[in-house]
Amino acid sequence: MDFKLRPWTPADLDSLVKYGNNPNIAQNMADVFPHPYTQEKGMAFIQMASSATPPNILCIEVDGEAAGGIGLHPQGDIYRKNAEMGYWLAEPYWGKGIITKAIVQMVAYGFEHWDISRIFARPFGRNIGSQKALEKAGFTLEARLEKTFYKNGAYEDELIYAVRKKA
Ligand SMILES: CC(C)(COP(=O)(O)OP(=O)(O)OC[C@H]1O[C@@H](n2cnc3c(N)ncnc32)[C@H](O)[C@@H]1OP(=O)(O)O)[C@@H](O)C(=O)NCCC(=O)NCCS
């Protein structure tokens, strides 16, 4: 299925809220991803995501609509050579290989635009879809931490996947 990564724009608000307002997505994300996903939260997100140059948070466009997001978050201090990746996709498009390809594209974009040597992602232990996508995109499981996340009233395992810049 065709998709493209491109900057977020204010015109994406309605589809962002339509697809983002989904507990099946929110339950696998950090609490910064809101539930319920309101218009106000959507506007604040789009404003934030449009503020950086080059943009580090991109929209996943499918069939002409904003159908997900993927972001790269460069870290500070002694983690300054690392960036964390996060992503989500509208539920109707799950299982079509979109996120695997989006991760590959975002890794190339990240190593091109930021002075980083490692990109990592931290899926929940129960998030098999995200783990498989990361593995297919070339990430390696570096660590499994037990019950470090606390989400929706329950402790969850944290998996650390990473990919290194080739020398
Ligand atoms: C996780 C998520 C991003 C996966 O996106 P996707 O585009 O469906 O992933 P892909 O189609 O690239 O799938 C990659 C692999 O995982 C498999 N997979 C996807 N979802 C799965 C699931 N729930 N259980 C088991 N395998 C799954 C796919 O079949 C595919 O493997 P295959 O090629 O061998 O068939 C999407 O389900 C999502 O947005 N979930 C909610 C938010 C989230 O979890 N974000 C990530 C936080 S770390």
- Does ligand 1 lie within 6 Å of residue 123's CB atom? yes
- Look up residue 66 and give its two tokens: 């904003």
Q: Beta 154-164 vs 118-121: how paired, if at all?
A: antiparallel
Closest C-alpha to ligand 1, atom 18: 129
Write out pLDDT tens, residues 25-52.
999 999 999 999 999 999 999 999 999 9
The pTM score is 0.97
Segment 8-33 mean pLDDT:
98
How many whole angstroms from 77 Cα to the centroid of ligand 1?
32
Q: Is the pLDDT of residue 56 over 90?
A: yes
In Å, what is the CA distance from 22 to each residue of 1, 53, 91? 22, 29, 8
Closest C-alpha to ligand 1, atom 3: 88
- Does ligand 1 lie within 6 Å of residue 54's CB atom? no
- Residue-range domains of the chain with CATH: 3-164 (3.40.630.30)
How many whole angstroms from 129 Cα to the centroid of ligand 1?
3
Pocket test for ligand 1, best of 100, 152, 159 (most atoms within 8 A of CB): 100
The answer to whether residues 93 and 68 touch, using CB atoms and an 8 Å cutoff, is yes
pLDDT classification of 11: cutoffs 50, 70, 90: very high
- Does ligand 1 lie within 6 Å of residue 129's CB atom? yes
Predicted local distance difference test score (pLDDT) of residue 167: 80
- Does ligand 1 lie within 6 Å of residue 23's CB atom? no
Backbone φ, ψ for residue 19 (5° rounding): -85, -30
Write out pLDDT tens, residues 140-156.
999 999 999 999 999 99
Pick the atom of ligand 1 nearest to 99's CA: 7
The answer to whether residues 100 and 136 touch, using CB atoms and an 8 Å cutoff, is yes
Pick the atom of ligand 1 nearest to 103's CA: 12
In Å, what is the CA distance from 12 to each residue of 46, 65, 87, 151? 8, 7, 16, 28
Write out pLDDT tens, residues 67-108.
999 999 999 999 999 999 999 999 999 999 999 999 999 999
Predicted local distance difference test score (pLDDT) of residue 1: 82
- Does ligand 1 lie within 6 Å of residue 92's CB atom? no
* Helical (H) or strand (E) element with 73: strand 65-74
Predicted local distance difference test score (pLDDT) of residue 62: 98
